Amino acid sequence: MMTLKSLERKLQKADAKQAKLYLFCNFVSLLLITAYSAMMFSPTVLLVLPEGGDSRKQMIAIFVLALFGCVVFTIYASGLFFRKKAKQLGTLMALGASGRKLLPGLLGEVFALSAISSLLGIVAGFPFVWILWNSFKLITDSNQMALTLDFKCLYLSAVFFVIVVGFSCLNAYRYLKRTNIMEVMHEEHRNEPVREMGRWCGPVGIGLVLGGAVLGYMGPVVCHRVLNYYAPAWLNILYAPVFVGLYMIMLHTVVNGWRSRKKHPYKNLIARSMMKFQGKQTVNNLLVSTVLIAGSAFGIFYLPMMSVDRIMEIKSRPYDYYYHYRADQEIPGEEEISALAAQYGLAIADFRQVPYLSLGMDGISEVEDGNSFHYERMPLKSEGRFLSQDSYERITGEKISVQKGDYMAISNTDETGLYYLEDTATVLTNMVTFQSLPTNFGGYAHYDFLMDSLGYYVLNNEDYETIAAGLSKEWMGQTAVFNIDGQDSYEFSQDFFYTLVSSFGPECEQPSYYDRVKKYYDNQMGEVYWGDTTRMTKISYSEPNTSDFRMYWKYMPKSRILDKTEFNRTFAVFLMMFLFIAIICSLAAVIIEYTRCMTIVLNNRYVFEDLKRLGASPGFIRKEIKGQAGPVFKIPALVGMTAMYLLYALLMFGNDGKITTNEIGGLAVCLLVLLGIGGVYYLVYRYAVKNMCRQIFE
């Protein structure tokens, strides 16, 4: 005896194919979101990506993009499922099944499908992360790469789970509430044409993307520089035209196409019209894929930009080794280092050591007034390391002329990173005797090797002697450089580094941004210096291999061979996290595009059948299939990658008002990487076309 329940069960069994697609889409979305949030909450990543830092913000921003993509994808999958289900629902409703009668069965089915697929996705997210991360460890490994997970990430997955299941159930309810049964029955073949817009739509879209990018970038800059106001987060809304522009580009692609059809008005007519009449779905899919590919490009750019810059910087160093230290520290000198090198069969050459002074500098500072700020001259703003003119010439081998009463800041040739240097000082202060020396900024001396976040300055020899009088060793230091005669040894460089670290006293266990002059000033003003609070990240001699230590220790030496060899290891978590982001976003985009291609076949099978009946050859049908699948893959790849490439170049330019040689090198490598990724997309496109053809011709 057959009941409605057993009938529904039988129908569900028969619909297994469409259910599989729905299960797959939900599964993939939850897997990607869980994997991403697992990494985002992972202590492994959080320890390395500084709180409030750009990297962490970028990671969160791309997560929002990925989340948006996955939400749209699951809504699309749910819509697709119901479109296929509509004929069945409509028929049952037409034969007298009320919504109330069908609701329990449909809700049960939809709930089970969405909940099971989502739960499986969440569960699979963790092994996925583990496999991916451990594959990365095959490329590069460090102690910091040991993966630990914080299951707080499940909160995000849970929210997404509720969205997926809730939306599916809501969709089920909405279908059964519909009163026009004919519409429900013919839902599957209902076209969703987009509103026709003129050919202006594409170029205007491009203009909006470019304009939005500039506006979004310049908005906070103007806010800061002109209005003296810290840009609030909501100002990011200025990027909104980018999304409107992207939508218009996609719309133009679907409705008008980019080529003029005056000469060949009937070229690709069928493929174009098929796309146009399912325009809403197509545009949504293209848009989501574009955003995800842009996110993926952003993630992947991190690697070449960081690596190329670093590699080029290391390559251009005039000395193999550099280190500096406070004069009150017992640090190995030329003799000890020579002895250490000898243990590795090495000899050092070109050893040069010069003294420097650590002086207090006044300068103009931004003083916060809530969300805004004003500029104020601080009598003791920061600490600077000052070389005498002679010392500079000795270490660089270059002549320099500093006028008496002036000071010069040592910058790199491209004059990037000038924000580390103080160019508004008018008084230098001896921090022991508190004698002051009036001064003027005399411009920049260029020597890339001595450019760092602590800042080196050069004084006229006479001024140097004057201000040095009475300075204690604590406020004096030595800068040393040397080469290895012949081939250097990695083992020696490691030994040198660890020996150096162990020679420093606890008073030097400080990050580079710990400023003793500022601390003195704050204490004089009765305030606690922020470096003495928990707000400033601490570094520890016990963890000399962490990226925090290598990046931020105040006395971190430079070693060509060590920095080159350990670059991957030091920045492994950084690099791998962004590689992970790129993979997740690319994977999501490719799956969405592939699914779209499969649904084109599913929804338009009858069109292809009609074409066959009209005498279309397999070659013609294959061409039409390519005409459908092509834009689904090509347009998001082209637009997403180009937009992100230009945005990245804009960011590079915006950092310091120029694009440096290293950045040009990085951007060139990014271009090659994009070509490589484009190749992978092309392979997936070929695979999708092959599968589409197989389904049509089988």
Which range in 3-11, 232-240, 290-298, 478-486 contacts another protein by CB under 8 A? 3-11
Nearer to another protein, 84 or 550 (CB): 84
Which range in 6-14, 458-466, 632-640, 664-672 contacts another protein by CB under 8 A? 6-14
Q: How far is the CB of 189 from another protein (least distance, A)?
A: 10
- Compute CA 133 distance to the chain's CA centroid, rounded to the nearest angstrom: 17
Assigned token pair, 174: 């909405």
Report how many residues bind another protein under the rule CB under 8 A.
29
Of 60, 246, 217, which is closest to residue 649 (Cα–Cα)?
217
What's the CA gap between 445 and 63, in Å, rounded? 42
* Given 4, 221, 367, 528, the residue binding another protein (CB under 8 A): 4
Binding mask 126-165 for another protein (x = CB under 8 A): ----------------------------------------
Going by DSSP bridges, is the β-strand pair 372-388/406-411 parallel, antiparallel, or unpaired? unpaired
The rounded radius of gyration (Å) of the Cα atoms in the chain is 32
Nearer to another protein, 279 or 477 (CB): 279
Q: How far is the CB of 244 from another protein (least distance, A)?
A: 24
Nearer to another protein, 178 or 446 (CB): 178
Nearer to another protein, 182 or 525 (CB): 182
Assigned token pair, 231: 């840009």
Of 431, 455, 420, 433, which is closest to residue 379 (Cα–Cα)?
431
Q: How far is the CB of 7 from another protein (least distance, A)?
A: 5
Nearer to another protein, 182 or 614 (CB): 182
Q: How far is the CB of 98 from another protein (least distance, A)?
A: 3
Nearer to another protein, 100 or 263 (CB): 100
Counting contacts by CB under 8 A, is residue 3 touching another protein?
Answer: yes
Could you say which residues in the range 500-529 bind another protein, by CB under 8 A? none
Contacts by residues 499-506 (CB-CB < 8 Å, ≥ 24 positions apart): 499/332, 499/340, 500/323, 500/331, 500/332, 500/555, 500/557, 501/541, 501/544, 502/541, 503/329, 503/330, 503/331, 503/332, 504/325, 504/329, 504/331, 504/541, 504/555, 505/328, 505/329, 506/541
Q: How far is the CB of 193 from another protein (least distance, A)?
A: 13
Q: How far is the CB of 121 from another protein (least distance, A)?
A: 27
Nearer to another protein, 106 or 311 (CB): 106
Contacts by residues 154-159 (CB-CB < 8 Å, ≥ 24 positions apart): 154/34, 154/37, 154/122, 156/33, 156/34, 156/37, 156/41, 157/30, 157/33, 157/34, 157/37, 157/122, 157/125
Nearer to another protein, 97 or 145 (CB): 97
Q: Which residues contact 349 (CB under 8 A, 6 or more apart)?
A: 482, 483, 484, 485
Could you say which residues in the range 426-465 bind another protein, by CB under 8 A? none
3-state secondary structure of 411: strand
Q: How far is the CB of 622 from another protein (least distance, A)?
A: 26
| CB-CB contact of 260 with 171 (8 Å) | no
3-state secondary structure of 446: strand
Q: How far is the CB of 100 from another protein (least distance, A)?
A: 6
Nearer to another protein, 14 or 60 (CB): 14
Nearer to another protein, 181 or 235 (CB): 181
Binding mask 160-199 for another protein (x = CB under 8 A): -------------------xxxx--x--------------
Q: Which residues contact 80 (CB under 8 A, 6 or more apart)?
A: 18, 21, 22, 25, 599
Could you say which residues in the range 55-114 bind another protein, by CB under 8 A? 87-88, 90-101
Nearer to another protein, 91 or 403 (CB): 91
What's the CA gap between 460 and 456, in Å, rounded? 14
| Backbone φ, ψ for residue 376 (5° rounding) | -145, 140
Nearer to another protein, 57 or 186 (CB): 186
Could you say which residues in the range 283-302 bind another protein, by CB under 8 A? none
Counting contacts by CB under 8 A, is residue 542 touching another protein?
Answer: no
- Compute CA 507 distance to the chain's CA centroid, rounded to the nearest angstrom: 36
Binding mask 555-584 for another protein (x = CB under 8 A): ------------------------------
Of 41, 26, 37, which is closest to residue 120 (Cα–Cα)?
26
What's the CA gap between 447 and 400, in Å, rounded? 11
Assigned token pair, 521: 């000033």
Q: How far is the CB of 3 from another protein (least distance, A)?
A: 5
Of 576, 687, 633, 691, which is closest to residue 55 (Cα–Cα)?
576
Q: How far is the CB of 97 from another protein (least distance, A)?
A: 4
Binding mask 9-38 for another protein (x = CB under 8 A): -xx-xxx-----------------------
Binding residues vs another protein (CB under 8 A): 1-4, 7, 10-11, 13-15, 87-88, 90-101, 179-182, 185
